[in-house]
Structure 1
Amino acid sequence: MYLVTFRLDPGEYDEEFHKLNDAIQATAEDTDGYLGKRTWNAQESEEVLVIYYWKSLDALGSFGADSDHKQAKQRWTEWYDAYEVTVTEVVEAYGSGFGADADPPA
């Protein structure tokens, strides 16, 4: 499994951002190998972390080739003050007490 951590400092979102963002999320959900996402908001700042779960690098690469996704990456300065993407391979995951939240979100 692979995790893509999208760390962002939001700027101003307009109608075009929301349309593009919704299209990108729909594409992710339709991509074979997409396992889900979780979002966290920092209490002390406006920083947001979105963790996307992927079955394989091939699945992630397929999503990355999407034209809407490419367009959003080129236009990031219109909507974010800063961003960072980290791709991580999960070697092992374990724990207890989160119930259904212990697994990647569906």
Structure 2
Amino acid sequence: MFTATFTFAKGEYDADFHALDARIAAMARAIPGYRGEETWENPATGQISNVYYWDSLEALQQLISHPDHREAKQAQARWLKGYQVVIAQVLRSYGDGGMDHPLAPREPAAA
């Protein structure tokens, strides 16, 4: 499994930003191998991190190579004051099962 963490400093959003963001989110969720996402904000810095979870690097690469994603990357300076992306392979994930998480074990599909 893999994660793509997109950390950014908010700028000024407009209608174009929200429309493109919605298209990318819908497209990502439709890719086989997408497991989910989480969003975190650091109140001290105002920075936001979106963590996207993927079954495979190939699934993540479908998002990265999509034209809407490339458009957002080229236009990011209109809306953001800076960003950083970290792609990581998940070596282990565990918990007590008391909360939902994109990497929590999934129920087997019904036969």
TM-score, normalisation: structure 1: 0.91
Give the match for residue 99 of structure 1: 98
The 1:102/1:21 distance shift into structure 2, 3 A limit, reads closer
Deviation (angstroms), 1:89: 0.2
Structure number with the higher helix fraction is 1
Give the match for residue 37 of structure 1: 37
The 1:71/1:102 distance shift into structure 2, 3 A limit, reads closer
Query: Structure 1: any 5+ residue segments left out of the alignment?
Result: none
Give the match for residue 53 of structure 2: 53
Distance 1:104 1:94 in 2: 8
CA contact (8 A) 1:37 1:51 kept: yes
Give the match for residue 70 of structure 2: 70
Distance 2:55 2:95 in 1: 20
Distance 1:65 1:12 in 2: 26
Aligned structure 1 segments of 4 or more residues deviating by more than 2 angstroms: 100-105
Answer yes or no: is 1:13 the counterpart of 2:13: yes
> What SS does structure 1 have at the residue aligned with 2:100?
helix
> What SS does structure 2 have at the residue aligned with 1:99?
coil
Distance 2:68 2:101 in 1: 31
Deviation (angstroms), 1:46: 1.1
Deviation (angstroms), 1:103: 4.4
Deviation (angstroms), 1:88: 0.5
Distance 1:91 1:31 in 2: 22
TM-score, normalisation: structure 2: 0.87
Pairs aligned (count): 104
Query: Structure 2: any 5+ residue segments left out of the alignment?
Result: 105-111
